[in-house]
Structure 1
Amino acid sequence: MAAKFQKEILIPDTSLVVKWFIQEPDSELADRVLDEIIQEKWSLVAPELLRYELTHVFWKNRSRGFGEKDILQAFKELQNLSLKEVPLRSLFSMSVKMVFLYHITIYDAFFAALAKSLHGTLGTFDQELIKRLKKDSSIKILNFS
């Protein structure tokens, strides 16, 4: 009997996910990750904060024609990718520690804490965050190069 391999866990932050819906620099790299998700290489897990951050980014892009229906459709598409959302309260203590340890925002810390706690891979285009988290070898970060 062949062994069944478990998918790797990807924690996509807002800088990655937004590129799936709004054309930005590096969207083609983000689309490659999306293709891997569709091919079931990754299981998607994110702090519930992703929902709020994405809504804010989409709202800021309303002048580009991004409206309420588009926001709701984007979240349906994320649900179709089987995105699992993790409550912030379960990540709060570790996130606060990471804020002080790495000098990152609490928003970024929630994504980093989830990646660390699940032994998953953080998907981000935030170069400053990547630079600061490199101090912690237990946090895997997706390489987009």
Structure 2
Amino acid sequence: MKFVLDSNVAIKWVLNEPDSALAMKVRDGFVNLAHDLVAPDVFPVEIAHALSRAERKGILIPPQGTLALTGILQTLPDLHDSLLLLPRAFEISSQQRIGVYDCLYLALAEREKVPLITADARLLKTPGFPMIELATF
């Protein structure tokens, strides 16, 4: 099976957060070819942003952030061109009043006809899109 992977799930691979064990299960299934993962091509930038923020907050010390980023970059989902997703993402954003970055993931899930795995409680409330809450994966 194929899933769209939200960056908020992948960041749990390297940060000790609620549901990190479930996020590792998603990653391990991908590594072991049990399922495919896809994401918009902004995914690595969002990961880097989250790791940078974790360093600034003192959750990680600088060498840890670099190592964490390298690790995630070695396990990237198949990345899809955000420019092709952007018109639909913008439309979803306007209709649902949620951020365009999140809507790139929704647009990809819609286009690929596969569920989005996310840990974002607010995003999970968006009607009409196939989603799986990480906590139930």
Match of 1:75 among 73, 76, 85: 73
After the TM superposition, which of the residue ranges 89-98 and 58-67 deviates more from structure 2?
58-67
Residue identity matched to 2:85: L
CA RMSD of aligned residues (A): 1.5
Residue identity matched to 2:37: L
User: Distance between the aligned counterparts of 2:67 and 2:21, measured in 1?
Assistant: 24
- Secondary structure class of the residue paired with 1:120: coil
- Secondary structure class of the residue paired with 2:125: helix
CA contact (8 A) 2:92 2:103 kept: yes
User: Distance between the aligned counterparts of 1:128 and 1:20, measured in 2?
Assistant: 21
- Number of corresponding residues: 130
1:58 alignment partner in structure 2:
51
Any unmatched runs of 5+ in structure 1?
A: 1-7
- Secondary structure class of the residue paired with 1:123: strand
Counterparts of 1:64-103 in structure 2 under 5 Å?
Answer: 64-65=60-61, 66-76=64-74, 78-79=75-76, 83-103=77-97
Counterparts of 1:1-145 in structure 2 under 5 Å?
Answer: 8-62=1-55, 63=58, 64-65=60-61, 66-76=64-74, 78-79=75-76, 83-132=77-126, 135-136=127-128, 139-143=129-133, 144-145=135-136
Shift of 1:22: 1.3
Compare CA radii of gyration and give the structure with the larger one. 1
TM-score normalised by structure 2 residue count: 0.86
- Secondary structure class of the residue paired with 1:11: strand
User: Distance between the aligned counterparts of 1:16 and 1:22, measured in 2?
Assistant: 10
TM-score normalised by structure 1 residue count: 0.82
Please list the CA deviations of residues 40-95 of structure 1 after superposition, one character each: whole Å capped at 9, or x if unmatched.
2321110011111100111122232223243223202x14xxx2111111101110
Instruction: Rate the CA distance shift 1:75–1:30 in 2: closer, same or farther, 3 A.
Output: same
- Secondary structure class of the residue paired with 2:3: strand
Q: State the identity as a percent.
A: 23
Instruction: Rate the CA distance shift 1:32–1:69 in 2: closer, same or farther, 3 A.
Output: closer
